[in-house]
Amino acid sequence: MNFEINLFILFMLVGSVQGLFLASILMLNKRFKKKSNVHLAIFILAFSLSNLHYIGHAMGIMKAYTWLNYLSFPWTFLIPVEFYLFIKYLLRPSHKLSVAEKWLYLPFGIQLVFHLVLFFLDFYNSTVLETYKDLIFLLDIRLETILSLLLNLIFVPSIYRMIQAYEKDLKANYSEISKSSVQWIRRLVLVLIGIWIIWAVPAIYQIITGIITPLLDFFLWVMMSICIYWIGYEAYLRFDIFQPKQAFPSKENKEAPDTSDKIEHHFNRMRAIIEDEKLYSNPEFDLSMLAEKCEVSANYLSQIINKNSGQNFYNLINQYRVEEVQTILLDPDFSHYSILSIGLKAGFKSKSSFYKVFKEKTGLTPSQYLKKNRPLATASHEDGVQ
């Protein structure tokens, strides 16, 4: 049994070291330089340091060096905040940290100061800690645990709702983050919800009874280690999540610098490919498919679309679709088509996305556009859902 426990401790130790290594890469390597990665790095760092604290207890290090207990900062206050901001910046890269969001760091800051005070008191005058040990236990263990539970109870559902809303938009629209990556993020959130539940049950039990449950705690830290391994593995696979949108040279000439003429050339070539093959009419068309056609990286293509058109991929493709609908609506050869069928033919995935985007681009519904530009042919396009 001791051998098995030691094996699990080794597993957690290696996972924590990997987490520290991955956090360092995400923060220091220019290849991963983007805001969402900074918050992910802090999240992984807090996760890993929490694991190392538990490993220190399991190996008896904390008993031998009691002052380390006071340097085991309240990472549980930081973990949900950083994961929330990671998701926020990942889904909305242009997001700016609000004043209210800055206040989210207050619980961590207060408890951090409290731990530092305890550390210096232990170092200079341990009798003070002995005198007020019951109060310290109340503030440092019970109150911290209660606040951590509440903080996670607020953040975890809000993060999940954020991803659900993004996925809902993804069904009708498009994103520079692939559908499979969004699904992976959702699975990660579900795993974290599971970890929170595993932690919450013994934590509440400990608050009420004062009895510690080592087995559940041990299982919790193993789960956290698995989560760190998982994130580390995915970091090398999901380029659309972890790598920033920066210029990459084309596949044909990886060493050539990206001049303005070259970027313009790629942009014009991209538009010609889209228009000649009418790629926008495919409802499943996405950025990676276009990048493959253009023989450049998806990140590079995303940048030149933004630089040359002032739009993202989703807006550009929808602009093509709206223009296609406008052309077909006024074409007598398609007078027997319903408005909805024309929208679907142009590449829209659903009635709701078609009507929403068309109104955003033209200021009119499809039927209003038809009445305004071809009044005599309106009746031929009636679809019964306007």
Residue 111 pLDDT: 81
pLDDT per 10-residue tile (average), the chain, 386 residues: 66 82 83 82 86 78 67 75 86 80 86 78 67 63 73 78 72 55 78 79 74 69 78 69 49 48 83 91 85 79 81 87 91 86 90 89 90 63 48
Structural domains of the chain, with CATH: 2-242 (1.20.1070), 260-381 (1.10.10.60)
- pLDDT the model gives residue 256: 43
Confidence at residue 92, expressed as pLDDT on a 0 to 100 scale: 77
CA gap 52, 348 in Å, rounded: 50
Helices (H), 235-337: 239-242, 260-277, 287-294, 298-309, 313-329
Only one residue has tokens 């949108």, namely 245
Structure token pair of residue 135? 């109060």
CA 192 → CA 9, 158, 183, 308, 352, distances in Å?
A: 21, 13, 14, 40, 33
Give the pLDDT of residue 323: 93
Q: What is the pLDDT of residue 375?
A: 57
Question: What is the pLDDT, as a whole number, of residue 325?
Answer: 92
CA distance 59 to 6: 9
CA distances 249 to 36, 235, 256, 275, 290, Å, are 24, 22, 7, 23, 16
- pLDDT on residue 70: 59
Q: What is the pTM of this model?
A: 0.61
User: What is the chain's length?
Assistant: 386
